[in-house]
Amino acid sequence: MANQQLFLGIDCGTQGTKALVLDAVSGQVLGLGAAAHTMISGPNGCREQDTAQWLDAFTESTRQALAAAGVDGQAILGIGVSGQQHGLVLLDEQGLVLRPAKLWCDTETTPENDRLLAHLGGESRSLERLGVVIAPGYTVSKLLWTREQHPQLFDRVASVLLPHDFLNHWLTGRHCTEFGDASGTGYFNVRTRQWDTRLLQHIDPSGRLHAALPELIEAHQPVGRILPAIAAHLGINPNAVVASGGGDNMMGAIGTGNIQPGVITMSLGSSGTVYAYSAEPAVSPQPSVATFCSSSGGWLPLICTMNLTNATGAIRELLALDIETFNTLVAEAPIGADGVSMLPFLNGERVPALPHATGSLLGLTTTNLTRANLCRAVVEGTTFGLRYGLDLLRANGLQAHSIRLIGGGSKSAVWRQIVADIMDTTVICTEQSEAAALGAAIQAAWCHSGSSLGLADLCERCVKLDPASETRPLAQNVAASQTAYERYRQHVATL
């Protein structure tokens, strides 16, 4: 037993918090835990969460993971935290949370974002200045919204944090952030890796926001040690090191071994993401590509679609199907679903950039309107959005030998085949589907080692691919999928 080095990885997402115990010597995941969060939804696209729920879920999932692993929390050497990106947590002078956190999926601040984008001079000027195009989900418009909607509360702001920064602050008492998660704020320059303080000055000329920013640290630097009271509360070793942590996509990259060029990670979750490591900040001229910094020392060009398993889930519920029956029906229908196309834009869409779009079914006839075709059409429609995004990344010079699939949709063999055929690339799942929590634990081991080297060795040891899931594109399917994709592109063009 002596030859173990145990690290705790935490992933605080929209639906809940996952915890994972990793032995960095054997590379084995020893135990998992999970606890749910609820969403506060309001009119105009308001999506918020009570940060106290995150702390409860952190505690509960950690206790579960330690129990499942059968290890003593005193053996934990370090903790890494992954957090949902773009969320806004505001603290006062005393370190108390001022209001619920506005989340990445909140669209209530769209008018504020439009005004800020106009102030920057439009999409091309935003790209020029920040290296990203600010979008309604980003943190920056949430700050302007708070100042206008809650001026008294805004006057008490002493600290502006992202969800993972807030959890690190709870653990250590320090206000820090790292480049990966900071990239999604909209007031950070991804090329120079510095805050754009002029933009914050524009929102609030008093300088309050600039003073409230957390300190930027490198990915391999720890934030510090866990506070004794929190260590006792969690049942963790009080000498445990708290890693820099990062956004969920950045931690997912580490947890899939996506830390050097040639690998693409594709997440089939409620939203879909595609990202790949880049050693240089090669900013795409396409506004849909977010050239974020990675949490492993480089960059992570990324696209995000708003509709994935939320759309397939909607069709499943409509037809009252369990997952197994749904997958059987998808496999029964031919590629292209006999001419049935679904544009699955139930939440509007980011890629392709159609924020005000709605979903639609096209090409229906008396003969092709079947349950199987509807099921096939929604899976193809959501996957075509990812193909559209992958093409944008490829146009910017991205090369890939294989795609590493994570997220709920990756568990479906039929969906894996559809992805392989539509992308014309071999796909494979990682053994550990909680890639963000795993990435956070690996990063904790990296920060604990105290060296900027060694991440590749850790990923080599701890990220295991599942050979049984490997799916290669089939030549006849690739051609038929391409035809169906071109039909999808024509339908999108009419929007």
How far is Cα 238 from Cα 171, in angstroms, rounded to an integer? 11
CA distances 279 to 282, 302, 394, Å, are 9, 14, 15
Measured distance CA(53)–CA(48) in Å, rounded: 12
In Å, what is the CA distance from 208 to each residue of 142, 155, 197, 212? 15, 8, 11, 6
Rounded distance between C-alpha atoms, residue 223 and residue 171, angstroms = 9
Asked if residue 111 has a cis previous peptide bond (ω within 30° of 0), the answer is: no
**Which residues have C-beta within 8 Å of that of residue 406, sequence separation ≥ 6?**
252, 255, 256, 265, 266, 267, 268, 269, 429, 430, 433, 435
DSSP assignment of 182-248: HTTSSSEETTTTEE-HHHHHHH-TTSHHHHHPPEEE-TTS--EEPPHHHHHHHT--TTPEEP--EEH
Tell me, what DSSP letter sits at residue 45?
G
Q: Which residues are catalytic?
A: 248
The SS3 call for residue 35 is strand
> Do 340 and 368 touch, CB atoms closer than 8 A?
yes
Contact present, 86 and 184 (Cβ < 8 Å): yes
Here the tokens at position 389 are: 């995004």
Please give the angle made by the CA atoms of 146, 149 and 150, to the nearest 5 degrees: 70
Query: Which residue reads 């990966």 in tokens?
Result: 180
* Rounded-to-integer distance, Cα 196 and Cα 189, Å: 6
Token code pair at residue 311 = 């759309």
**Cα separations in angstroms, 172 against 59, 176, 355, 380:** 15, 10, 39, 45
User: CA-to-CA distance for 81 and 244, rounded, in angstroms?
Assistant: 8
One DSSP character per residue, 71-130 reads: --GGGEEEEEEEE-TT-BEEE-TTS-B-SPEEPTT--TTHHHHHHHHHHHTSHHHHHHHH
**Given CA atoms 443, 447, 449, 450 in this order, what sign does their dihedral have?**
positive
Task: Check if the beta carbon of residue 309 is closer than 8 Å to that of residue 407.
Answer: yes
